[in-house]
């Protein structure tokens, strides 16, 4: 049952690099089904504390059952931009380590009612928090063509964004676009059949990011995480597509070298000091064995930084 919900990606690496203080406070901003939490809690002492956050009520419920043997965990339903509130509610002000696994859980992908997958007959939902109101279908049926083109290009990096946006605008005049196969047929009409599957993935990704405001949430969460960490505390982020990874990589690089002085100056005069150092190797990918056991791990990228 547990494995069917979500297989934790890069579990060995997370345990190796994140656990410096086995008696500390650990925050999981994307709890999911509790896979990483279980691995980390088994690496921690009983006087450590684990704070698990997820915006999905179903994930929280599942994780509660999975982690019922552990007494040193606090659950919090919300987004990872609410980390400060979650930490304070658990009785702390700072934490020793933070994990953000940015992937959609296997459970959410496999469950047609959640609307993340491009399988025929799946209603276009894509909300991670089902109490939110904006769905992928509403975006497709209410956003103007210009905004659709922007979303497809910016969040999906789809080269045929304009063509697909025009087709969406035309087709929704005939009937509302509510199911995945309707959207797939629109994409089929706009791209070469050899590349259709990749375009499905890009357009569905773009809609999911817009529905859940993922990139804005990530940008804010990275800054909040750095504030919450103690000196020497570590932040680990697992991303799954280039937009997320670029945001994480640039944040880590900027915090490591925040100087804004012109390069021709012989020394720094801006006074900005590094707040974080990147942990080598700078990019960690799943090994061949892990990918064979869990093919969905193949796009995962792990970056880790330590607060100075």
Does the domain at residues 2-107+214-307 carry the CATH identifier 3.40.50.300? no
Q: Using alpha carbons, list the distances in angstroms from residue 12 to 35, 98, 109, 282, 287.
A: 12, 16, 24, 16, 11
The closest alpha carbon to 50, from 107, 6, 92, 2, belongs to: 92
Q: At how many degrees (to 10) do helices 196-212 and 145-156 cross?
A: 100
Cα separation, 157 vs 133, whole angstroms: 25
Q: What is the pTM of this model?
A: 0.88
160 marked ligand binding residue: no
Classify domain 114-212 by CATH number. 1.10.150.170
Q: What is the pLDDT of residue 296?
A: 83
3 marked ligand binding residue: no
Cα separation, 84 vs 53, whole angstroms: 11
- What number of other Cβ atoms are within 10 A of residue 54's Cβ? 27
Q: What is the pLDDT of residue 2?
A: 45
Residue ranges matching CATH 3.40.50.150 in the chain: 2-107+214-307
49 marked ligand binding residue: no
23 marked ligand binding residue: no
Question: How does strand 95-101 pair with strand 229-239?
Answer: parallel
Cα separation, 83 vs 92, whole angstroms: 11
107 marked ligand binding residue: no
Cα separation, 43 vs 23, whole angstroms: 10
For residues 50, 51, 56, 61, the Cα torsion angle rounded to the nearest 10 degrees is 50
Question: Any alpha helices (H) in 134-195, and if so which ranges?
Answer: 136-142, 145-156, 161-171, 180-188
Residue ranges matching CATH 1.10.150.170 in the chain: 114-212
Q: List Cβ neighbours of 26 (8 Å cut-off, separation of 6 or more).
A: 18, 19, 40, 44, 48, 49, 50, 51, 95, 96, 97, 98, 99
Q: What is the pLDDT of residue 193?
A: 93
Q: What is the DSSP string of 187-232?
A: HHTTS-GGGHHHHHHHHHHHHHHHHHTHHHHHHHHHHHHHHHEEEE
Tens of each residue's pLDDT in the chain, 308 residues: 444 555 799 999 999 999 999 999 999 999 998 999 999 999 999 999 999 999 988 899 999 999 999 999 999 999 999 999 999 999 999 999 999 999 775 444 545 445 456 677 889 999 988 888 899 999 999 999 999 999 999 999 999 999 999 999 999 999 999 999 999 999 999 999 999 999 999 999 999 999 999 999 999 999 999 999 999 999 999 999 999 999 999 999 999 999 999 989 988 899 999 999 999 999 999 999 999 999 889 999 999 999 99
- The continuous run of DSSP H or E covering 55 comes out as none
Cα separation, 117 vs 124, whole angstroms: 9
92 marked ligand binding residue: no
101 marked ligand binding residue: yes
């Amino acid at each position: 049952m547990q494995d069917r919900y979500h297989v934790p990606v890069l579990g060995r690496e997370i345990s190796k690099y994140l656990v410096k203080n086995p008696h500390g406070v650990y925050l999981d901003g994307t709890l999911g089904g509790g896979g990483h939490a279980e691995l980390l809690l088994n690496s921690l002492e009983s006087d450590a504390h684990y704070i698990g956050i997820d915006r999905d009520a179903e994930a929280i419920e599942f994780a509660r059952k999975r982690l019922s043997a552990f007494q040193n965990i606090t659950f919090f339903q919300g987004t990872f931009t609410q980390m400060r509130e979650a930490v304070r509610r658990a009785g702390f002000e700072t934490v020793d380590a933070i994990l953000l696994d940015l992937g959609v859980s296997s459970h959410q992908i496999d469950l047609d009612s959640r609307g993340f997958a491009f399988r025929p007959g799946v209603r276009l939902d894509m909300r991670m928090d089902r109490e939110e109101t904006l769905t992928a279908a509403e975006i497709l049926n209410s956003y103007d063509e210009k905004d659709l083109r922007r979303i497809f290009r910016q969040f999906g990096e789809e080269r045929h964004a304009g063509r697909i946006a025009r087709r969406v605008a035309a087709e929704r005049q005939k009937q509302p676009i509510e199911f995945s196969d309707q959207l797939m047929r629109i994409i089929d009409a706009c791209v070469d059949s050899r590349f259709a599957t990749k375009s499905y993935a890009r357009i569905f990704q773009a809609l999911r990011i817009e529905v859940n405001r993922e990139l804005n949430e990530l940008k804010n969460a990275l800054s909040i995480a750095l504030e919450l960490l103690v000196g020497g505390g570590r932040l680990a982020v697992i991303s799954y597509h280039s937009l997320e990874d670029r945001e994480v990589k640039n944040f880590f690089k900027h915090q490591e070298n925040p100087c804004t002085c012109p390069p021709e100056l012989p020394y720094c005069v801006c006074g900005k000091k590094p707040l974080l150092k990147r942990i080598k190797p700078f990019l960690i990918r799943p090994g061949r064995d892990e990918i064979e056991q869990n093919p969905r791990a193949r796009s995962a990228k792990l970056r880790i930084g330590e607060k100075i």
